Structure 1
């Protein structure tokens, strides 16, 4: 992981996660897939984690698949593809409901804390799907984005479809997929792929992370669990989830600390 992804824990329990394969615009080779999945696994187990901020160093967020790695692998099994999975075993679920390649995008949804992405430069193909896995997305207006897979005769298969569902109109998504048209960050915001357009996406993402980190973490994590249900749950199931999560939180020390800190106009101090 260390030569592909870095994790720095900042104040207030904020994890600063960066893609650091700068010589290749953070393109996805087998080691990059491994590094991102290892980072996600580490973050899932990090005590005191409040918010994750994901960004790319260098000229890009992530340029998508490293095509020079197609048909090769960093391990001993040379029959593996760039995703690290044999072509005949993509249907195998290796990471919960996802495979290894899908998990680099879907896995951010499984981290208990909110994940904020900050993108600049390029977010193509798999990189765009990783960006889509974040809870909240800041994008520079000049960021070049694309659902790129059809350019290479492939289907978007890194969790894009379930992540994009509900974010963008169906006909718009179909056109972008069929044509692999490049669009900028401002268009991404207009279409629903991005939350905010910013000239300083990383700085703004960090500011929002600080704000969220000072909220009751129990309530934040419970809200994320409910959000993760919204696409598939019935109204009755969502109503029940609201009540169940609230019963676990109300009158707990962290909930009471949120009330007292607000009334006393001071920074809260929450316990894990």
Structure 2
């Protein structure tokens, strides 16, 4: 499926290639692009055949950030982007980051060029693989704004508070190696899209139910109590053992030919 601003290509092996497709504007985010990303995530969520997502950007950059001129020039655009019924709910700006984490499948961001305000979207991915020449920044303070696209939920897990505050306050532009040292990246390579595809191929060899359970277990319980973690570990294991994909995984581990069923409801 293709839209003007985001493309979705689902391969036969279940790997979904999602591309931010506004290269003439450095993939900067206007209101329509926010809507297109959110719609694409919904399409993926409703397709049980999809096993892994690879998120990348067309052109020279992954995503330079918010299209300030487009969004801020018309107050109605900012209202549509930031509106929510209750303070604790997610608005559209927060959904395009947080919804990736809600998917029950692994999401890999393949980053190249500038990943500035777009780092918020990349933080929604489970893995971030960047080109060695990429640059990354939490850049909102440069424009008199704070980061408000839900990326903070991940930054607080990845970084010490003083380092996170310094990067957010200064809008410092990091090299890929610096971002790796700050734990903002998973890997640095000379071909992030190829490396993302390699990782995707290794992931689809595993049970889709196992991948879903691990992602949910870690995201929901990483900073929770031990008792809650123990309970979820046991419940998810029972659910996996009761499903069809566990026996298929055993057959594959023994070298037998077998094909996984679609993942269950997680």
Task: Identify the TM-score tier after normalising by the shorter chain.
Answer: over 0.9
Contact 1:29/1:83 (<8 A) preserved:
no
Q: CA deviation at 1:110?
A: 0.8
Distance (Å, rounded) in 2 between the aligned partners of 1:250 and 1:236? 21
Encode CA deviations 1:29-61: one digit per residue, 9 max, x unaligned: 011101100111111101211100000010110
In structure 2, relative to structure 1, the CA distance for the partners of 1:185 and 1:9 (3 Å cut) is same
SS of 2:77's equivalent in the other structure is coil
TM-score, normalization by structure 1: 0.91
Q: CA deviation at 1:93?
A: 5.0
Q: CA deviation at 1:141?
A: 1.6
- Is 1:84 the counterpart of 2:80? The answer is yes
Counterpart in 2 of 1:229? Answer: 220
Distance (Å, rounded) in 1 between the aligned partners of 2:106 and 2:130? 17
SS of 2:133's equivalent in the other structure is coil
Counterpart in 2 of 1:180? Answer: 171
Distance (Å, rounded) in 2 between the aligned partners of 1:270 and 1:261? 9
Q: 2:126 aligns with which of 135, 158, 182?
A: 135
Contact 1:124/1:147 (<8 A) preserved:
yes
Contact 2:31/2:71 (<8 A) preserved:
no
Contact 2:107/2:127 (<8 A) preserved:
yes
How many equivalent pairs are there?
A: 261
Gaps of 5+ in 1: 73-77
Contact 2:189/2:195 (<8 A) preserved:
yes
In structure 2, relative to structure 1, the CA distance for the partners of 1:228 and 1:83 (3 Å cut) is farther
Counterpart in 2 of 1:75? Answer: none
Q: CA deviation at 1:240?
A: 0.4
Distance (Å, rounded) in 1 between the aligned partners of 2:13 and 2:81? 37
Q: CA deviation at 1:171?
A: 1.2
Counterpart in 1 of 2:261? Answer: 271
Distance (Å, rounded) in 2 between the aligned partners of 1:215 and 1:248? 16
Q: What aligned pairs does 1:29-44 form with structure 2 within 5 A after superposition?
A: 29-44=30-45
Contact 2:17/2:53 (<8 A) preserved:
yes
Gaps of 5+ in 2: none
In structure 2, relative to structure 1, the CA distance for the partners of 1:83 and 1:258 (3 Å cut) is farther
Contact 1:121/1:143 (<8 A) preserved:
yes
SS of 1:197's equivalent in the other structure is strand
Distance (Å, rounded) in 2 between the aligned partners of 1:97 and 1:260? 43
